[in-house]
Structure 1
Amino acid sequence: MSKLSNQSLKSILIIILFAVISVIALISINTVNITTGDITSPPPAEDSVYSAFQSYKMQMRGDDPSKKPTEWFTLSRAYPYEQIPHQAYLRALNQAVAVRNATMNTDQFNAIPAGPTNVGGRITAVAVHPDNLNIIYAGAALGGVFKSTDGGSSWVPISDDVPSLSCGDVAVDPQNPDTIYFGTGEANSSGDSYSGTGVYRSTDGGVTWEFLGLPNSHHVGRIAVDPENSQIILVAAMGKLFGKNPERGVYRSSDGGATWNKVLYLNDSTGCIDIVINPRNSDTVFAAMWERIRKPDYRSVGGLSSGIWRSTDNGLTWNKLTNGLPPDSPTNGRIGLAISPSNPDVIYASYVDHPGNLMGIWRSTDGGNSWQSRLVSPGTSSFSGFGWYFGQIWCDPGNANTIYLGDVSLWKSTDGGQNWNTIGDQMHVDHHAMFISDQGNFMAEGNDGGFYISTNGGNSWNKCNTLPITQFYAITIDQLNPQRLYGGTQDNSTPRTLTGALDDWDVLFYGDGFYTIVDYTNSNIIYAEAQYGYLGKSTDLGYNWDIIFTNYSHGERTNWMTPVVMSPHNHQVLFYGAQRLWKTTNGGNQWNPVSPDLTGGSGGGNLTYGTITTISQSPLNADVIWVGTDDSRVWVTTNGGTNWNMVSSSLPDRWCTRVTADVYQQNTAYVTFSGYKQDELLPHIYKTDNLGSSWTDISGNLTDVPVNDILPDPDIPDRLYIGTDFGCYYSDDGGNIWQVMGSDHPIVPVFDIDLHQNQRILVSGTHGRSMYLFDISSTGVEEEPELITADFRFNKNYPEPFEQQTTISFEVLKSTHLKVKVFDVNGRLVETLMDQPVNPGEHQLEFKAQGLASGTYFLSISSGYHQISHRITLIK
């Protein structure tokens, strides 16, 4: 329950809208103190907690350093099976797309981008227009394809109409640059994204898309368009990640993607990860084949079938290359390929072994007939144990001896691979994609932290701070300062904004981020955690941290995403979920277990099964506490943890994602589940009115989609909100009918939602497209509050709505520097009307809308820390 005093709904929401637009027997815990680094710089090696965290990560990995990233994403959706049923996923996804399209422009809520744009997320593909370096395409792991027409300064999502936003590769037709190919399904063997749905093409620069087939290719490693014949397209298909299937290898189309032939196939566990075409003789093609498979308790990233193949007839027939290359071995893993545009006889291959160390770099100078080992420098010999996650190599188009290698760091050699140095050390780690211009000066690079550009051959790099592709696990709103948003993310720790601006986020803590809690009595007190429940506390707004709970120091099993919640009754009380429920009554200084093992025991494998996944204390009765586990168990106590009742015998055997205590009745709770149905009906949402003695399915008309969170509206008794793998939904009748929430919200997983009651704001934390805000205030005509700050008062704009132009009227109350700007609904600047010192008095500005499309725009007026925003409507 919010502790805020009642304020005007719209006045606070307007501040947030402007910010959107503008850019843990009694045990004592030993604490360690740290200072948070900035958003781009890695923490110093001598930092005590950073060192402690690195040690912690290695203990979590045990003898398997390749546990990065985790299989949590897939396993939570596949449980109790080994893999997600692909056809069930495709069917549900198509249904969700159809429902969204049917409600376009008619749904009650608008999704407003909330950022961050300057934190970033995993980039998996980069493509650039061959004749215009300002036109760039970036593919995000679960965010789809973005396009920039100004050299990376601003970006627009262009693939939101494609069912899958999991990006494997993006390719531009070199003869027809407006033709773009989008291969869905990330191919980096990352367990935290969905399979793809096939290959798509746009012939108008990304405005519209058509499906070209290959829906069971699952993960696309590369798309290569013949530079001499646009009708010939080659696709590297990796196939299933968590299983075997025959739809893998090299596919070829000779009719522009209308039909496909599988031209290179080895077996049902070997796919193609990379393809390069000789730029001067497109009959010569090279393909890297990779044998790999992942299971819940096993990962094989190498095999006898891994190797390099060559075609000399434009991909119709293939021969395996062996002369000088590593001999067949069960440890041969991922292979990356690069061919020199300036001397196509020079080809490079990077080899990674099983379990993921770099085997070496090989080079051919005779078109692949023979190969020589080149890597002799130390430092690049390990890939940190998960080279299967990178495994790519690139060659400078103008210099056959200059090559780059993607790793945790980015490596460069200027002597054909004999000696190596790191470059771009100021960039985020884990490098996946690169483009190099013909002259070698302009470079575009994608990694786990976003998109970077160099204009001096890699000597320095600039991050693009306008890409909303952060992958959130959990989010929270500061209840005292609702413009302050926090969240834990994949690869990018715990970002937060203090101002609410899209591009004004910094990063707290370390590792991958998960639950974050802001004390509802003191915004300076923050709790944040890294993977497997590495929990920290800050009392100075996140600048310094104490570690207050770790699982390995207590012998507890914890989940990749360990739940931590604060009691709504006492801000000093927190609950932490391992296999037992832990409680602190003094803000994390000491902890007690308040339950036995509430799971079925450890399941083993890469994920520590047998853990609590969700905790909820009734806001009406502190003795009523609910928990759910990753092996489908739901428990409740009515005496604060002295006794526990398992109440899930009639519930599905699926991963329990959330239990939420009701805000109206203490005996009522809601529970949600992940997973997809196999042959049986699989509801995903249940409600109890009798402390779990019985449950009612309230999935209603909801499609077969994993549901990750549920919140009852504290002001509207029958309204419920849910976050699902296909976006957000709401119900106004207690779950009988579910409706899409924001048809402009992309169809991406939403792992967490949060609500600010007083200000009627709902926040969606997506795993791939950052955050979105929803205004959930009651509908109806309301008198708009006076828009006034200490520096100025906005009077009105007239006419409103307007057709050609509108006059903006405001009063300056004291001399100040005023900025007046207009933005579109995606947060892009349309026009700056004023940016100058102004004196007190009445002022007017004219906004002329020539060349703009009809729709909603936002007028922002700001001076220093004072800011307002006003919605204006253009009608033509």
Structure 2
Amino acid sequence: MSLLLSLATPSFGQGGSGKPTKQPRKESSNRRAVIDHDNDADDPDLPGFRGLRIEKEDYLRRRSEHIRVLRGLDSVEELNLKNPRELAVEEMQDQQNRQRIKRQLDANNQWTVIESATEPGVWKELGPAPIPNGQTTRISTPVSGRVTTIAVHPANPDIVYVGTAQGGLYRSLNGGESWRQLMDSAKSLAIGAIAISPSNTSTIWVGTGEASFSCSSFFGVGLYRIEDADTDSPKLYGPFNRDGNNNDIFSYRSIGEILVHPTDPNTIFVASASGIAGMGCEAPVGAPIRGLYRSTNAMSPNPKFSPVTISGVNDLSITDMIFEPQNPNKMVISVRGTSFEGGGIYKTNNAISPNPVFTRTLTLGANGTRVRASLSANKIGNTVTIYAATGESGTGACATYRQHGQLRVSTDSGETWSSPIGSANGFCGAQCSYDIAVAVAPDNANNVLLGGSANSICSGVLKRATNGSNFSASDVGLHADTHAIAYAPSNPSVVYTGNDGGVWRSTDGGINWTSLNKSGFNATQFMSLALHPSDPNFTIGGTQDNGTQWLRPDGTFVRADFGDGGYAQIDQNAKDSTVVTMYHTYFNAPGAVVGFARVTHTGDAQDYGWEFFGCGGTPNGIGCYDSAVQFYAPMAIGPGNPNSLYFGTDRLYRSSDRGENMAIVSQQFLAGAAITAIGISPQNDKVRIVGLETGKVYRTMNGFPTLEDVTGPIPAYHITRAVIDPKDVNTAYVTLSGFGLASGQHIWKTSNLNALNPTWKPMGTGVPDVPVNAFVVDPENSYNLYAGTDIGIFSSTDGGLNWASFGTGLPVVAVFDMAIHNPARILRIATHGRGLWETSIGLNSPPPPPPPPADNPIGPTGLTATAVSTTQVDLKWNDNSENETGFIIERCQGAGCSNFSMIAEPGINRTTYSDTGLALATTYSYRVKAYNGAGNSDYSNIATVSTASPPQTQFVLTATTQNASQIYLSWNIPPNNVLGFRIDRCVGAPCTNFTPLVVLGASVSTYIDSGLPSGVTHNYRITAITNNDTIVSNVASATTLANPGAPSNLVAETISPSQIRLKWVDNSSNEVGFRIERCLGAGCGNFSQIALVGTDTTEIIDIGLVANTTYNYRVLAFNGTGVSAYSNIATATTLFINGIPAVPSNLRLVFASSNRIDVAWDDNSENEMWFELVHQIRGERYGRVIYLSPNTTFFSTTGLNRLTTYYYRIRACNSNGCSPYSAEIPATTK
């Protein structure tokens, strides 16, 4: 892991996401606020308000892991013949078919006149289609969601097919003026590749599974074939994923490209790549072999695929492939891998033969990194030109700032390759495996478009060259992170591009772009939603890549804030649709950003209007260095006016003043384990439950700050939701992520949350084995429950006993959040790929409760009780019933006792139970009965047993670790007229050389052995001294907790005049984090702490340093026990820059329109690192600060008010400070 430490994050250029809080955080005087050269200027993911920031690679990893867990991929290890998600979809579709048949029968018999509230609703798609004010470059244009691939009809530039990350496949017949969805019924909406059959252009192939190598990219189920794709009646067939032996070869994988033979539609090639699952974003164990596949019967009802051997390449991702135009025998492919694995670009001259021979013509991955490449070719006469955009490391300054990406060209059909083209250096920044695209015009090999990540030092959203080598930005109005570029073969002036914001079209070869994100195109990936208490439209919700959205009272969408959008909440005391308190998160990372943004008036629900509270913003009590926090940290609201607000890290925070002060209201539950779900009773703010990523559940019924572990039998899976019944504080639900759970175990319910040990029961029968991400209880009728899963919505009308797929018209899409607007009786859901949807859930009057079972269960028999130790009794009985809901076990003390009380309530089909924590040498009696909704069975026989007594010749000693230096000893006192005790000890495991430790009195039964070394095993025995003899106990052992091992090999590397990178070796497996200390000057010794970073971190970048200055560093590891020794001391000196920059001069107005002002100035310095351009209206408290790259001399401000005078000034800055401001000038819009 790598962390970047900075104290200011300006943003470069129009469309950038830099944004200060309304009350900027005060910084200590010894840390100068400086620019971060790794800044992702136009990156919509990273809001720039914060004081501490996260490196983009770490940001993407954290986000990917969060999405991965929501998708249940932590639990996927071994695979079945079909992947669990596909099996779940089939189960859901079977339920839907049965529901459809029932509705048809009811209609035919004319028995159903009016559908009741429990009948499935009809889902309505709300959008946004589009988001009108996208986070785009220089000017704001409409956006939607991530586009992954584009295919343009070979003869008609207006027929285009667009694949999305989790929104399915869209088609336009009029150049993007309108759209139609073609794959709503598919088992996967994650699209990786599209190919149009050249010999029958009405047939297209669609590969599922997004080959973007991020955990937020869904794997697929194989290929689909769409026939009559360009007609009014397209026909979908598939998925196809089998080889000749009926083995599944594509499930759990992604498909990066498909090639169809130009004259033989039965011959197609498929590039299989990694599908993401598991820790570290690796392919799941047991997934099919990746590589190149071919079918020669592709148009048959069940086409089969066989692997194509590539010498030296084994189970590696094929990321792209092309035919030489008009010659399918000549094929070029890119293999993602290190050079040792076979990574690089390969060519064959006999692709159509049974055994084509491939030769590697360009080796990639020489530095041990797996490198992705994207390919594009054209053919003019006999010259075949191929461009290869690769993820190779940048050079020069781009290498310094870890900007990756190179472009090479071949003019001999891929036989040889040029050296990297200089002006493309670093084009895809820090994420070349995620966003990399290249396209060459079909009629001119010099016209090239190159797509990468957000604009920064080297990277660029989209660059254009007309001579094949000199690239410049061509990205006005485009969203960051380009994934696809496609020229229209029949008209090279027409180009389409796709990125994290959707799809755009150019009609002048890529110079100017028009957004095609409009009605009918909905691919927004929502993370959350929150509803207004009275207005049925008013909704806010966080989205991936596209900010926080606001569905306004008039039914239109607008982006209310930038950055990545996480959780959202609305205070339910709002009396109108103007004075509304709203909250949302961006992202969270310990030591960088931990907290949330807030507005109290909808007029502030826009860029720069939200105030951020927490670490990195206005301090409010939320800690920067809590040991864990979710990337999208959970929030919840409780009752009260204002609503209480809750926020979770590794502990629970609560505010009663709209988040301005957050008090800790729980213990740290588990170091390194984050809260993932918070449930607050709408009736009683003191009743709270939280769930952790480890599967633990905690509860308080009285608001005490120490919550009790009430996990019980709930499996150790990621807790996704914790919900308390709005009408009953004692009824609660938790839902689980993951695959591989037993039937019904994705939803758990308790009806006695207030009990000492609440009884949790699995209550998800009918919900397939698929992650449950969202859950809501109908506030009018607690029997009506709704669950949002990885594949759609399920409902129960009997309090969770039975579940079924709910509603009609919703595609197979992951649902990440849901809420009920009770006044309007609407269920609204947030999908991760298809925006917001809603359906009516009927009238307010609740239906009667479901009828109970007709018969009581049959009573259990044959109860036996066996004492297995001094403190445990094991029970066994016969289950004689087939309709019990569970069993009740009762116990009383003594033989013949009758005052039985319940001790446990095991679930259905249980026949054993272990009763622990009993008193030694004590008699207990037990009985068992079964129960269901109809009542209880008869009791079983009574079984009586006595726990064992210690042997009379010795007594029991126990040893328990207290901390790093103490071990607690306890023993029972034998009934032998003891005069005293002697404790003996030896060190090591095992050991026999006991020596006396201490002599104690006859009434003492405990002792704490202190002052021990950490991490060492100690063995003890105790001797009881009597008048007649001595009695020796058993030997008891315990090991003191260990301090973490000291880090080593600390290295300090100078990066720039203000940055030093630190790297070290982590030699511990039990640290909670690392403390970094620094002192100023060679040979200094007055170290002070500058940062705390989390477990497993081995690299940070210290930013904000003074130029030409020597710093010494040292690092230690820490945990709850203590600290390690220090690492070695590492020394580095920052680069030298001579003074602060000169003042820019001649600031002048260049152009003004009704909403735009252009200004220019003279750059009088050679050492600036950035400019700060300020404009404001007279009387404004704050001006807008725009951070611009060095050497910039022009800027265009858009989105301004008409007939308004703005005042501009500018200054130049570097790590030594900023120049004075230039003279201020007025500029007035028309």
Assess same fold via TM > 0.5: yes
| Alignment partner, residue 654 of structure 1 | 717
| Alignment partner, residue 567 of structure 1 | 638
- How many residues in Structure 1 have an aligned counterpart in Structure 2? 727
| Alignment partner, residue 204 of structure 2 | 180
| Alignment partner, residue 349 of structure 1 | 388
* 1:148 equivalent in alignment to 2:211: no
5+ long unaligned stretches in structure 1:
1-30, 293-301, 603-609, 781-876
Match of 2:376 among 335, 338, 341: 338
**C-alpha separation in 2, matches of 1:319 and 1:377:** 34
| Alignment partner, residue 687 of structure 1 | 749
**C-alpha separation in 2, matches of 1:581 and 1:312:** 63
| Alignment partner, residue 278 of structure 1 | 324
* 1:636 equivalent in alignment to 2:681: no
Alpha-carbon spacing, 1:64–1:671, altered in 2? closer, same or farther (3 Å): closer
**C-alpha separation in 1, matches of 2:129 and 2:766:** 34
> Does the 8 Å CA contact 2:550/2:557 hold for their aligned counterparts?
yes
More displaced, 424-433 or 347-356?
347-356
Match of 1:664 among 710, 724, 727: 727
Match of 1:312 among 336, 339, 349: 349
> Does the 8 Å CA contact 2:388/2:438 hold for their aligned counterparts?
yes
| Alignment partner, residue 168 of structure 1 | 192
Shift of 1:460: 1.9
Shift of 1:47: 5.8
More displaced, 323-332 or 184-193?
323-332
Alpha-carbon spacing, 1:55–1:476, altered in 2? closer, same or farther (3 Å): closer
Shift of 1:427: 1.1
The residue type paired with residue 688 of structure 1 is T
| Alignment partner, residue 540 of structure 1 | 601
Shift of 1:152: 1.1
Q: Residue deviations 1:419-471, cap 9 Å, x none? A: 21111231111111122123321111111011111222222222221211111
* 1:517 equivalent in alignment to 2:569: yes
Alpha-carbon spacing, 1:95–1:291, altered in 2? closer, same or farther (3 Å): farther
Alpha-carbon spacing, 1:659–1:460, altered in 2? closer, same or farther (3 Å): same
Partner-residue secondary structure (3-state), 2:342: coil
Partner-residue secondary structure (3-state), 2:91: helix
* 1:528 equivalent in alignment to 2:524: no
Alpha-carbon spacing, 1:493–1:57, altered in 2? closer, same or farther (3 Å): farther
Partner-residue secondary structure (3-state), 1:53: coil
The residue type paired with residue 42 of structure 1 is G
The residue type paired with residue 525 of structure 1 is T
More displaced, 727-736 or 343-352?
343-352
More displaced, 352-361 or 770-779?
352-361
Shift of 1:309: 1.2
* 1:447 equivalent in alignment to 2:512: no
Partner-residue secondary structure (3-state), 2:748: strand
Match of 1:748 among 806, 813, 817: 813
The residue type paired with residue 67 of structure 2 is F
Shift of 1:648: 0.7
| Alignment partner, residue 118 of structure 1 | 130
Match of 2:537 among 461, 474, 483: 483
Shift of 1:738: 1.3
Supply the RMSD in Å over aligned alpha carbons: 3.0
Partner-residue secondary structure (3-state), 2:567: strand
**C-alpha separation in 2, matches of 1:562 and 1:212:** 39
The residue type paired with residue 480 of structure 2 is V
**C-alpha separation in 1, matches of 2:541 and 2:100:** 29
> Does the 8 Å CA contact 1:303/1:332 hold for their aligned counterparts?
no
**C-alpha separation in 2, matches of 1:580 and 1:275:** 49
| Alignment partner, residue 832 of structure 1 | none
Alpha-carbon spacing, 1:178–1:239, altered in 2? closer, same or farther (3 Å): same
| Alignment partner, residue 75 of structure 1 | 69
> Does the 8 Å CA contact 2:75/2:738 hold for their aligned counterparts?
no
Match of 2:479 among 403, 416, 428: 428
**C-alpha separation in 2, matches of 1:706 and 1:470:** 20
**C-alpha separation in 1, matches of 2:73 and 2:297:** 41
> Does the 8 Å CA contact 2:780/2:844 hold for their aligned counterparts?
no
**C-alpha separation in 1, matches of 2:573 and 2:60:** 41
Alpha-carbon spacing, 1:714–1:444, altered in 2? closer, same or farther (3 Å): same
> Does the 8 Å CA contact 2:345/2:362 hold for their aligned counterparts?
no
| Alignment partner, residue 259 of structure 2 | 224
**C-alpha separation in 2, matches of 1:337 and 1:216:** 24
Alpha-carbon spacing, 1:690–1:45, altered in 2? closer, same or farther (3 Å): closer
Shift of 1:340: 1.2
* 1:495 equivalent in alignment to 2:549: yes
**C-alpha separation in 2, matches of 1:311 and 1:500:** 59
More displaced, 131-140 or 109-118?
131-140
**C-alpha separation in 1, matches of 2:816 and 2:679:** 16
1:686-705 pair list within 5 angstroms: 686-691=748-753, 693-705=758-770
Alpha-carbon spacing, 1:418–1:135, altered in 2? closer, same or farther (3 Å): closer
The residue type paired with residue 624 of structure 2 is H
* 1:468 equivalent in alignment to 2:522: yes
The residue type paired with residue 100 of structure 1 is Q
**Greater relative CO, 1 or 2 (CA 8 Å, sep 6+):** 1
**C-alpha separation in 2, matches of 1:430 and 1:76:** 23
1:37-76 pair list within 5 angstroms: 42-43=15-16, 53-54=47-48, 59-61=53-55, 64=58, 67=61, 69-76=63-70
Which 4+ runs in 1 deviate beyond 6 A?
31-35, 48-52
Alpha-carbon spacing, 1:46–1:548, altered in 2? closer, same or farther (3 Å): closer
> Does the 8 Å CA contact 1:269/1:291 hold for their aligned counterparts?
no
The residue type paired with residue 132 of structure 1 is N
Shift of 1:553: 5.5
| Alignment partner, residue 458 of structure 1 | 510
Partner-residue secondary structure (3-state), 1:100: helix
1:594-609 pair list within 5 angstroms: 594-599=665-670, 601-602=671-672
Shift of 1:746: 0.8
1:194-213 pair list within 5 angstroms: 194-205=218-229, 206-213=234-241
> Does the 8 Å CA contact 1:142/1:166 hold for their aligned counterparts?
yes
**What percentage of residue pairs aligned between the two structures are identical?**
27
Alpha-carbon spacing, 1:572–1:82, altered in 2? closer, same or farther (3 Å): same
Match of 2:444 among 388, 395, 399: 399
> Does the 8 Å CA contact 2:667/2:706 hold for their aligned counterparts?
no
Q: Residue deviations 1:566-623, cap 9 Å, x none? A: 2222325210010010111111111111111123x32xxxxxxx11111111112221
Match of 1:554 among 624, 627, 630: 624
The residue type paired with residue 176 of structure 1 is N
Alpha-carbon spacing, 1:717–1:491, altered in 2? closer, same or farther (3 Å): same
Shift of 1:253: 1.4
Shift of 1:146: 1.2
| Alignment partner, residue 92 of structure 2 | 96
Shift of 1:554: 2.3
Q: Residue deviations 1:641-668, cap 9 Å, x none? A: 4231111131011000001011121111
> Does the 8 Å CA contact 1:146/1:155 hold for their aligned counterparts?
yes
More displaced, 164-173 or 148-157?
148-157
The residue type paired with residue 340 of structure 1 is N
> Does the 8 Å CA contact 1:303/1:331 hold for their aligned counterparts?
no
| Alignment partner, residue 859 of structure 1 | none
Shift of 1:179: 0.3
The residue type paired with residue 408 of structure 2 is W
Alpha-carbon spacing, 1:33–1:249, altered in 2? closer, same or farther (3 Å): closer
Match of 2:289 among 247, 258, 264: 247
> Does the 8 Å CA contact 1:617/1:624 hold for their aligned counterparts?
yes
Shift of 1:77: 4.0
More displaced, 54-63 or 150-159?
54-63
More displaced, 621-630 or 67-76?
67-76
Partner-residue secondary structure (3-state), 1:133: coil
Alpha-carbon spacing, 1:514–1:83, altered in 2? closer, same or farther (3 Å): farther
**C-alpha separation in 2, matches of 1:341 and 1:118:** 38
Shift of 1:140: 0.8
Q: Residue deviations 1:69-119, cap 9 Å, x none? A: 522222344465465856323222222233234434845200011111113
Shift of 1:546: 0.8
The residue type paired with residue 339 of structure 1 is A
**C-alpha separation in 1, matches of 2:601 and 2:340:** 51
**C-alpha separation in 1, matches of 2:380 and 2:174:** 28
